[in-house]
Amino acid sequence: MVDPREAQIVALARSQQRNVTRQQLLALGLGRAAIAHRARSGRLHRVFTNVYAVGTPAASPVERAAAAVLACGDGAALSHASALFLWGLQRAWSEPIHVTTARDRRRPGIVVHVSVVLAPADLRTQRGIRATSPARTVLDCARELGGRLPRVIDDARNAGLLRVEQLMGK
């Protein structure tokens, strides 16, 4: 017999790059034992503390990035080099995953940047993942980009992701 909550879990996971949090599973009516059983039977796969991939382990960088944002809680956003990749402004995915949040939410395998100022203009959703805007991402990565910075800005402008005025806070 199939648990009627299974469809809800799958639908929620689809909207979050195949990930769900322990809190979301509890809110859907699963108890600790049901979550543990699903993990033992291979229906849930731990990605980060209290975050699970549904069905199969998180395989793609985008799935892991979504899990990292969920692991860091409400208000968290993918940022820095991880957001550059998500926006298509960096070809290669690199670990560790970077997340910016207003509160310090350290998690193993995730670099957490604390910013008391995460204005609505600094945030977007890309591929179902909350991320820093292209302008905020470029500014956050400016030092690391070094001589590549002008190229990244041009690429973002040509892709329609960025206007130069946004880099000046306008």
pLDDT for res 164: 85
Q: What is the mean pLDDT of the chain?
A: 93
pLDDT band at 106 (very low <50, low <70, confident <90, very high): confident
CA distance 12 to 22: 12
pLDDT band at 25 (very low <50, low <70, confident <90, very high): very high
pLDDT surpassing 90 at residue 165:
no
**Residue 153 token pair:** 């800005």
**Residue 98 token pair:** 């970077």
Strand partners, 48: 51
pLDDT digits (tens, 9 = 90+) for 44-65: 999 999 999 999 998 899 999 9
Cβ burial of 85 (10 Å; 0-12, 13-18, 19+) is buried
pLDDT band at 170 (very low <50, low <70, confident <90, very high): low
pTM of the prediction?
0.92
What are the distances in angstroms from CA 65 to CA 19, 37, 82, 110, 113?
10, 25, 7, 9, 15
Backbone angles phi, psi at 91, to 5 degrees: -75, -40
pLDDT for res 4: 81
Cβ burial of 40 (10 Å; 0-12, 13-18, 19+) is exposed
What average pLDDT does range 121-134 have in this prediction?
95
pLDDT surpassing 70 at residue 73:
yes
pLDDT band at 125 (very low <50, low <70, confident <90, very high): very high
Cα dihedral sign, 25-49-44-16: positive
pLDDT for res 23: 97
What are the distances in angstroms from CA 158 to CA 31, 88, 164?
49, 12, 11
